[in-house]
Structure 1
Amino acid sequence: MPSRLSRFAFPLLAYAFAAMMLGTTVPTPLYALYADRMHFQVLTTTIIFATYAGGVLFALLAFGSWSDAVGRRPMLLAGVGFAIASAVVFLVADSVALLLIGRVLSGLSAGVFTGTATAAVIEAAPERWRTRAAAVATVANIGGLGAGPLLAGFLVQYAPQPLHLVFVVHIVMAVLAGLAVLIVPETSPRGGRVGLQRLSVPGEALPVFVIAALAAFAGFAVTGLFTAVAPSFLADVVGVGNHAVTGAIVCSIFASSAATQIAANRIPPPRAVAVGCAILVAGMATLAVALHFSSLPGLVAAAVISGVGQGMSFSRGLAAVVERTPPQRRAEVSSTYFVVAYVAISLPVIGEGLAAQAVGLRTAGVGFAIAVAVLATGCLIAIVSRERTRAA
């Protein structure tokens, strides 16, 4: 591959990563429109959202190790293909069944892209960017997730064809991402083998893993809640129907998470996870108050605070687990950690939908916040107790 293209591999791959992750959160501001058009309730919205996590989990387990064997480019192109197929399905969607298919395809794209693109961006980084390549991959990943609802909310609120234009835009972005992947050099030496991703945790890492995974579960449950239910909170509880505001609120939780993951990179993992859990508790208290008083500023504050707590506890929790894991088993342990995170995105949100049907959206949201706060508090107590025991 000509050297002049090699120079652009790093930014082009970072763009491709961000563009693909953007597409996975684009539907968030549209859920209210689909619900009105197709006459479904919050529970159905949460199920549609959760199918995305199912697609991610399948891709992580089935294809997680493939890029090491066949190369980064084929897997990245497959991820682009899934993203375009998802956007096309959403363009023609006129039923809940098609929305489910579109979300599964989007999840497959994210699952294929996340690990592969992270590795490709780091491998393509020029020498002067080596120490910051992982941070760039994090910004591309989480930044793309945050940009999706922000872009979609603006287009849905202020541009024509609210259920179509944003997917056309994303198809164009995905095609450009595919071209970027095609023209840059392959970054993988192509070692390893094709097979299912093994999930396990070695005994020496298990105590740390359990605490970190529970903290990650709490944080990702909140991320899933805002991504799936924020439009309903705004419209039905706060009384704000502006889709751009919805997109901005969902964007804020991802933006604060990404910024925190980078800023907290040098904080010792146990301390960072403990602080992250404490901040998450504060975020949930803010959310409960915001829902009780139907407060838009409170909902925004809850998103930002929760994003800080989620970003700190998740990223440093993974670092804590990796520190205790033998190098040859880190891939399977990291995959297990991500499986916990994506289960957290889906199942608690469906529980929120069921609770909303039974007791109302406001009460269900407050109950969700209390449950997450209790879980995060338990993790905080476990960390403090463990550190005191080690220090004694």
Structure 2
Amino acid sequence: MAFWLVAVAFWVTMVGTTLPTPLYVLYQRQMGFSLLTSTVVFAAYAVGVLAALAALGQVSDVIGRRRTLLPGLACAALSALVFLAAHGLALLLVGRVLSGLSAGIFTGTATATLVDLAPEDGAEQATAVATVANMGGLGSGPVLSGLLAQFAPAPLRLPFAVHLVLLALAAAGVWLMPEPVAAADRPRLTLARPGVPGSVRGTFTRAAIAGFAGFAVFGLFTAVVPVFLRQLLGVPDPAVSGAVVCVTFAASALGQLTLTRPLGRAALPAGCAALIGGMVLLAAGLAAGSLVLLITSAVLAGLGQGVALRAGLAALNAQAPSGQRAQVASTFFLVLYLAISLPVVGEGLAADAVGLRTAGIAFSLVVAVVAAVALLALRRAARAETARPANRSQA
């Protein structure tokens, strides 16, 4: 029971991180700010995530899982309260930073807690459940707020009130769970320092380039696609924009759970290829004003992102020295969360300079080029690895 209570709490926390997605266009209209400002509000989330990863990445190993999860839920609740009271840009930024803190605290800790609470042979199942809870929550947030914004009163308030109720239930479940980790008598907390040992630098670079492209896609779909739908495709419905964003996260979860292992060593190149295809379709959809192409691009890019993410992490975990595995993973996620924030702010700047359609097409093609660079690097590394045994046999 504790296992499933933590999984639900994980899902509820991640719901809050994407809850504002279909509402950004409403905030823009009500508060009168530009697309650039909207992307900055979205990117503030990454500030909270990175701060939590750096300061609190290993805290649950020291003070226990429950004592870490409950503050994560508290940050999510504070974020919802701030959005409930938001009447200007400053509060939106604070709400997003708090939401990022909750995600940064919760993601690693909840995954570790699920592994702790699973049966001895259930680590793989626990990881799969963590993936579903994470991506399912990210995908459910836009659907929930989109439906409430379109069909219920108070579209900028009710979604956060509902989320507060869900958070209260989740907190009760976490409070009741047994503590799976013994807290240290004299806890010592240290900042997580980024770093990559030389032995895995090549693998890290290739995985990080692919991951950067995938998370840039997430940033684009989460922050800007509702604006694309409203202004370029003439689809103003928050429920539709929430559903399109949900499709991206659902496809990512599907790719991670069903495609990565069967593809084996071809998974990372396949993920890059899917990202390239998804971005080309997105550019075509924006140029033609086609909702069908936009949704198809969401599916293909989401699959590519999920496969590339899991394959990249697996490659790093396999090659990193055991004593530096956490450091390498933290550095990898540092790159990913920079990717989810900085490029989308660049999209906002470009939209103000050259127009939304041109900026969206250019962004799509740049991400496709980044994924293509990763794909070429992977093929070059594979050829070099194949040539090594041949050289040894000749010698």
User: How high is the TM-score relative to the length of structure 2?
Assistant: 0.96
1:178 is aligned to 2:147? no
Q: Does 1:372 align with 2:363?
A: no
Deviations 1:250-283 (A, max 9, x none): 0000000011101134246642110000000000
Match of 1:115 in 2: 108
Q: Which residue of 1 aligns with 2:390?
A: none
Letter aligned with residue 51 of structure 1: A
Equivalent-residue separation in structure 2 for 1:149 and 1:194 (angstroms) = 35
Q: Deviations over 1:229-266 (max 9, x none)?
A: 01100001111001000000000000000111011342
Unaligned runs of 5+ in 1: 1-7
What's 1:11 paired with?
Answer: 4
- Count of residue correspondences: 385
RMSD (Å), alpha carbons = 1.1
Q: Displacement of 1:327 after TM fit?
A: 1.1
Give 1:335-354 correspondences, 5 Å limit: 335-354=330-349
CA contact (8 A) 1:234 1:240 kept: yes
Report the counterpart of residue 214 of structure 1 in structure 2. 209
- Quote the Cα distance in structure 1 between the aligned partners of 2:188 and 2:208: 28
Q: Which residue of 2 aligns with 1:278?
A: 273
Q: C-alpha separation between the residues in 2 aligned to 1:254 and 1:123?
A: 26
Asked whether the equivalents of residues 28 and 149 of structure 1 are also in contact (C-alpha less than 8 Å), the reply is: yes
1:64 and 1:213 mapped to 2: Cα distance? 19
- 1:126-141 → structure 2 map (5 Å cutoff): 126-127=119-120, 129-141=122-134
Structure 2 residue runs of 5 or longer lacking an equivalent are 388-395
The answer to whether the 8 A contact 1:269-1:317 is kept is: no
**Counterparts of residues 1-392 of structure 1 (less than 5 Å):** 8-127=1-120, 129-190=122-183, 193-267=188-262, 270-392=265-387
Instruction: Tell me the secondary structure at the aligned position of residue 338 of structure 1.
Output: helix
In the other structure, the counterpart of 1:4 is none
SS in 2 for 1:238: coil
Aligned-residue identity in percent:
53
* Post-superposition offset of 1:127: 4.6
Deviation at 1:199, TM superposition (A): 1.5
**Contact between 2:260 and 2:267, CA under 8 Å: does it hold in 1?**
no
- For 2:386, the aligned partner's letter is A
Report if the CA contact (8 A) 1:269-1:319 is conserved.
no
CA contact (8 A) 2:76 2:99 kept: yes
Name the residue aligned to 2:393.
none
1:128: Cα distance to partner? Answer: 6.3
Q: Is the contact between residue 269 and residue 320 of structure 1 (CA under 8 Å) also seen in structure 2?
A: no
Q: Work out whether residues 270 and 320 of structure 1, in 8 Å CA contact, stay in contact via their aligned partners in 2.
A: no
CA distance in 2, matches of 1:353, 1:269: 37
Query: Which letter does structure 1 place at the counterpart of 2:75?
Result: F
Distance, in Å, in 1 between the alignment partners of 2:123 and 2:316 is 23
SS at the partner of 1:266? Answer: helix
Is the partner of 1:195 in helix, strand or coil? coil
Residues 370-389 of structure 1 deviation map (CA, whole Å, 9 limit, x = unaligned): 10011101110110111011
The alpha carbon displacement at 1:194 in A equals 1.4
- CA deviation string 1:295-330 (max 9, x = no partner): 111111111110000000111111111111011111
Q: State the one-letter code of the partner of 1:33.
A: L
